[in-house]
Structure 1
Amino acid sequence: MTRFFYVGALLLSLNIFAQERAPLPTTDAEARALAATIEAEDLRRHLTILAADDMEGRETGQPGQKRAAAYLAEQLAALGMPTIGENNGYFQTIKFSRQKWDSIAMTVNGKELRHLWEFYSAPSRNADRESEEIDEITFLGYGIDDERYNDYAGRDLEGKTIMIFAGEPRGRNGNYLITGTKDPSAYSLDDGAKMRAARRHGVSTVIVIDPAFKKNVQQVRRETLDGRLKMTEQTESEREEANSVYITPELARTLLGKDYRKVIRSRTRAEKTGRFRPVVVAADITLTQDKEVRELIGENVLGYLEGNDPELADEVIVVSAHYDHIGKRGDAIFNGADDNGSGSSTILEIAEAFTVAARAGKGPRRSVLFLWVSGEEKGLLGSEYYATHPIFPLENTVADINVDMVGRIDDAHAGNPNYIYVIGSNRLSTELHNINEAVNRDFTQLELDYTYNAKDDPNNFYERSDHYNFAERGIPSVFFFNGTHADYHRDTDTVDKINFDKMVRIGQLIFHNAWQLANQDKRIQVDVK
């Protein structure tokens, strides 16, 4: 970040920047001047910090990853980039969890029921708790708390167990009481609304009579068998739902006994009058919901530069890299200098080059999002989270340029550092591929190796880095990669082995790609099926 004023003055003196750019640049002194701000000295400075021992291998959710995120945010603040993340900052929190039952059990009148046959309960929808003895059930209609229909009105249910019907009541005309139309409300579409209402009223457990039990139990069956980390909207500490159990209508009749008819009459009255009269019945139930939870909470880091063309600024180019690594194993620190401190440092320098242009009044026409994701080493989790929680609409995302490992030389190119593997550039857009070929020809003259782009490549690198979560959603994407080496995922992947001159040239190639995509008149098209 040592060349802002020099390059800014140079740009102001250039008169060659045309308002209408050619689809593929041939010579562009302005772009060369900007690319020249990507320097080995700055790359070394960033990488030395990101891959230092005190970053502890940057494992997602661990203190080292938080420190790395803070460093990236500090650099974005120094560049003057606006805060577009949470809490007026640069972060997007990623939340993933894996939950399974250690013990799930329900007994009625001393008889043990079969989970997934007579009842089901999803670990992800319930808090962990020890066995609970239930000696009374309050039948509470549909469990709805709404100004247009309220089963809770005037009821003290603190610490109680309630039983409710799935869905919501309809009137005599067939319309739903809450919406007044044939369209259901959120209480039919999202059981979470009922569980949150129960929690607000202090309810301990909600027992839901599920008429579609055989269908709905399949999802819970899959969840109990799935050991993967999954995206979640809330952590355990943020949970706002009462615990729940879903039962068959046959089991409901057993639990309610002679009061079952009273419950049916009460439901009929509610549908006629809009008011429900609770039914309280004695019970002998033991419920155990003991679960194991693994949570992964990390941060994506967001650097944003708004485009200066009012007609194109809504379109966004994403330049991405993962900054997490695999942490520590005992005393060994896996510094991850190449994987992927190199990519993270590179896009910091590219972000600086774009900022230099903007300060000189020559910023890009389209907007650019510099995206550092976490959780890549856990299964591309950070980019998956962004793709499903985008800051900018995916339909406005023109392309993703992904940078993952660009500081080393693999065995296939021993003695020739001036190469880069290019993966995915032609999978969705021939234009993206042609742009990369053209800017390399005109500016960087690297050897572009497409070995790993082959669809039958046994390594399948195309699906193994963060660009894939964009490509999978139809966004043209290209992945720049130097290949693996003997230090890959070892504690010997350290800064002293990085080739910074190589990083400069690759960084310049990536800059020229992003600059072209951000400035040409028309966005690239998806033309490969």
Structure 2
Amino acid sequence: MRIAKVLSTAAALLFALQLNAQYVSGVNTPDSSAIYNTDTSDVSVLLANTISAEDMREHLTILASDEFGGRETGHPGNDMAAEYISGHLNSLGVPKIMDGDYYQDVAFTYTTWEANTVTINGNDYKGAKDFIAFPDKTGNASFQAKEVLYLGYGIDDPEYSDYKKVKVRDKVILINKGEPMKKDSSYWLTGTSEPSSWTGDIDRKLKAAKKHGVRMVLIIEDGLREMVGKNRRKLLGPTVTLTNGLKDNTELANHLYISTTMAKDIIGDKDKKVIKSRKYITKKGKNCDAKLKPTFAVNQLRKSTILLGRNILGFFEGTDLKDEIVVVSAHYDHIGKKGDVIYNGADDNGSGTTTVLEIAEALAISKNMGQSPRRSVLCLLVTGEEKGLLGSYYYSENPVFDVDKTVADVNIDMVGRVDKKYEDNPNYIYVIGSDRLSTDLHKINENANNTYAGLTLDYKYNDEKDPNRYYFRSDHYNFARLGIPSIFFFNGVHEDYHQPGDTVDKINFDKMQNVGRLIFHTIWDLANRNDRIVVDGKVKAGR
């Protein structure tokens, strides 16, 4: 049994510590190719060295097996993964702090379209092909209209309003994205070459439309084909939201993103009128609408199903600073199946999940050695990451431990593969976010690496100008947005990202072991230092 291994390993390590031994039978030490510090007089080294490639392979082979069906949130394979993880925590003797269990239940609403069609002048258009309507963002609609109002950009601002002196209640409006520009390429709203928030925040336009009683907003999307491709999985499958915990979208007007073909069908022979309106807006910086006379009919009906998921909490109580919490997080869900094809998600994020399980075992051993860290450590395995960071969002909004007492989040998401840049040097890891809110956190991880691991730490994706914006795309961000210092460990993308080829046979377990040990040392420092790390950065919104 696992608990027997924990107890025997703890006894062996304690004996080694007392004797300052250089080798202990039964302790997993690095292989000859490892670059790892093996000073067994240091308790953190003894504990970190229990994190082994062999154990990682054992866990991941199960979690990323076909039997688990891709671990999609709300599906049986995800439940099986949760049971495996909680079973491991139980085998370590981790206390059940969630009403006698390890689970924080999370309800998800899966929404699809039962009907999603538009007819213009007798021409039929289909959702996810000719137009886009996200069922989690817009509601049911079934009506006909004999008029559509072209309303410029759909902006309602003190400096410029497309709604000024225009009756729009219960009408369908057609708008452009962006905002009006002058001939010199500056924007009317800002007077500079930089646009206002009306350009980037489409929800702001939809809220304005709702406020004015608009029945439906039609947004002309020049790049609709690219938008469909980018959102294909979301459009063809259900959209997933938190049943409780996220704001609903009743404040947004019903809306569609439509192709230029649909827009031309709506405009018909009134194209000169629309062009004239746009030229007037550009020249004068004042609104100018145009009445269009298509026959317009829409039929949209949503179907919603509530499914349950579970965040998993493994809590290790500290000693004199036990009221302060260090979180180590990873998402255990993946994207499931397409037909009979299973997306196993070995790297994404079976690797991070497995690493947390190994860290949990090291912490269990520390407890049985009488060497528990001073601060408490919460091993948080979350669901719903692939649906939009939903599980971690739910925890951050419904924390089991006070946010003010949460010192840091250490997040692990994809640490088992090697990207093209490092094909000849697998002992690397991308580090994201470590200095965004706390320079202390950054220094702690750097010191842990210099002292113990010797990995190449790459900060490429930590650049605030990085177009991938990974800082906002994993579960640590739901802690960072609350001002909690967060660090994200990531191996970079590869050709099997979100593909059926993300399988266990392609995992580099030696690399994964070394990264796991580095992460343990960073956690150990965070949990044992005298002073809590200082927050000296500012929260920046990004989602």
**TM-score class normalised by the smaller sequence:** 0.5 to 0.7
- Provide TM-score, normalisation by structure 2: 0.61
Are 1:90 and 2:102 matched, yes or no?
A: yes
Q: Does 1:11 align with 2:14?
A: yes
User: Aligned in 2, Cα 1:431/1:222: closer, same or farther, shift over 3 Å?
Assistant: farther
**Match for residue 347 of structure 1?**
356
TM-score (norm: length of structure 1): 0.63
Which residue of 417, 425, 436 maps to 1:416? 425
SS of residue in 1 equivalent to 2:69: helix
The 5 Å alignment of 1:153-302 reads 218=211, 229-233=240-244, 292-302=303-313
Structure of larger gyration radius:
1
The letter for the 2-side match of 1:8 is A
User: Separation in 1 of the partners of 2:7 and 2:406?
Assistant: 28
Name the structure 2 match of 1:53.
66
What code does the residue aligned with 1:352 have? E
Aligned CA distance change for structure 1 residues 71 and 102 (closer, same or farther; 3 Å): closer
Q: Partner residue of 1:70? A: 83
| C-alpha distance after superposition, 1:440-495 (max 9, x if no partner) | 00000000000111000111111111001000110000000001111111101110
**For each residue in 1:102-130, what CA deviation from the matched residue of structure 2 results, as whole angstroms up to 9, or x when unmatched?**
89xxxxxxxxxxxxxxxxxxx99xxx9xx
- Runs of 5+ in structure 2 lacking a partner? 21-36, 116-134, 141-206, 219-233, 246-299, 539-543
Pair 1:102–1:48, CA change in 2 (3 A): closer
Structure 1 position 386 matched with structure 2 position 395: yes
How far apart are 1:12 and its partner, in Å?
5.1
The 8 Å contact of residues 323 and 372 in structure 1, kept in 2 or not, is answered as: yes
Structure-2 residue corresponding to 1:472: 481
* Kept after mapping to 2: 8 A contact 1:405/1:483: yes
> Percent of aligned pairs with the same residue?
54
Alignment partners' CA distance in 1, 2:456 and 2:535: 26
Letter of the 1:80 counterpart: G
1: distance between equivalents of 2:213 and 2:390? 22
Secondary structure of 2:493's aligned partner: coil
Mapped partners of 1:510, 1:451: distance in 2 = 19
- Residue 414 to residue 293, structure 1, CA distance change in 2 (3 Å): same
Change (3 A) 1:220 1:373: farther
Q: CA shift at 1:8, angstroms?
A: 3.0
CA distance in 2, matches of 1:398, 1:35: 21
Q: Specify the code of the residue in structure 2 equivalent to 1:37.
A: T
Aligned to 1:79: 92
> What's the offset of the Cα at 1:94?
1.4
Q: In the aligned structure 2, how far is the partner of 1:328 from the partner of 1:221?
A: 39
- Letter of the aligned partner of 2:93 in structure 1? G
SS at match of 2:524: helix
Residue by residue over 1:231-272, the C-alpha shift from the partner in whole angstroms, topping out at 9 and shown as x without a partner, is: 3339xxxxxxxxxxxxxxxxxxxxxxxxxxxxxxxxxxxxxx
Instruction: Note if 1:30 corresponds to 2:43.
Output: yes
One-letter identity of the residue aligned with 1:469: N
Alpha-carbon deviations, 1:36-83, whole Å to 9, x = none? 100111100000000000000000000000000000000000011111
More divergent stretch after superposition (74-83 vs 28-37): 28-37
State the distance in 1 between where 2:406 and 2:491 align. Answer: 26
> Please, which of 428, 432, 446 is the counterpart of residue 437 of structure 1?
446
Q: Structure 1 residue 370: deviation in Å?
A: 0.2
Going from structure 1 to structure 2, the CA distance change for 1:229 and 1:219 (only over 3 Å counts) comes to farther
CA spacing shift, 1:13–1:375, aligned 2, 3 Å: same
Tell me which of 516, 539, 542 is aligned to 1:507. Answer: 516
CA 1:219 to 1:10, structure 2 compared with 1: closer, same or farther past 3 Å?
A: farther
Quote the residue 2:411 is aligned against: 402
Deviation at 1:304, TM superposition (A): 0.5
Distance 1:507 1:382 in 2: 23
Give the AA of the match of 1:298.
G
Kindly indicate whether the alpha-carbon contact (under 8 Å) linking 2:312 and 2:380 is maintained by their aligned counterparts in 1: yes
Q: Does 1:497 align with 2:506?
A: yes
Matched residues, number:
363
In structure 1, how many angstroms separate the alpha carbons of the residues matched to 2:109 and 2:396? 18
SS of the residue corresponding to residue 108 of structure 2 reads strand
Give the match's secondary structure for 2:323. Answer: coil
Equivalent residue letter for 1:356: I
The aligned residue for residue 43 of structure 1 is 56
The 8 Å contact of residues 26 and 442 in structure 1, kept in 2 or not, is answered as: no
* 1:9–1:360 CA contact under 8 A, matched in 2: no
Mapped to 2, the partners of 1:510 and 1:221 lie a distance apart of 52
Aligned twin of 2:327: 318
Indicate conservation of the 8 Å contact 1:321/1:347, yes or no: yes
Deviation at 1:392, TM superposition (A): 0.4
Letter of the structure 2 residue corresponding to residue 335 of structure 1: N
Whether the 8 Å contact between 1:11 and 1:33 is mirrored in structure 2 is no
C-alpha spacing 1:102/1:331, structure 2 compared with 1 (3 Å): closer
Kindly indicate whether the alpha-carbon contact (under 8 Å) linking 2:346 and 2:507 is maintained by their aligned counterparts in 1. Answer: yes
Q: Does 1:308 align with 2:331?
A: no
Could you say if the C-alpha distance between residues 414 and 451 of structure 1 is closer, same or farther in structure 2, counting changes exceeding 3 Å? same
Distance 1:83 1:57 in 2: 27
Residue of structure 2 in register with 1:329 after alignment: 338
Report the CA distance between 1:427 and its aligned residue: 0.3
Conserved in 2, the CA contact under 8 Å of 1:402 and 1:480? yes
Deviations 1:272-292 (A, max 9, x none): xxxxxxxxxxxxxxxxx9752
Question: Which string of whole-angstrom CA distances, capped at 9 and with x for unpartnered residues, describes residues 153-188 of structure 1?
Answer: xxxxxxxxxxxxxxxxxxxxxxxxxxxxxxxxxxxx
**Residues 299/441 of structure 1: CA separation in 2 closer, same or farther (3 Å cut):** same
Q: Distance in 1 between matches of 2:211 and 2:389?
A: 27
2:243·2:306 contact (CA, 8 Å) conserved in 1? Answer: no
Secondary structure of 2:80's aligned partner: helix
| Counterpart residue number, 2:366 | 357
AA aligned to 2:8 is F
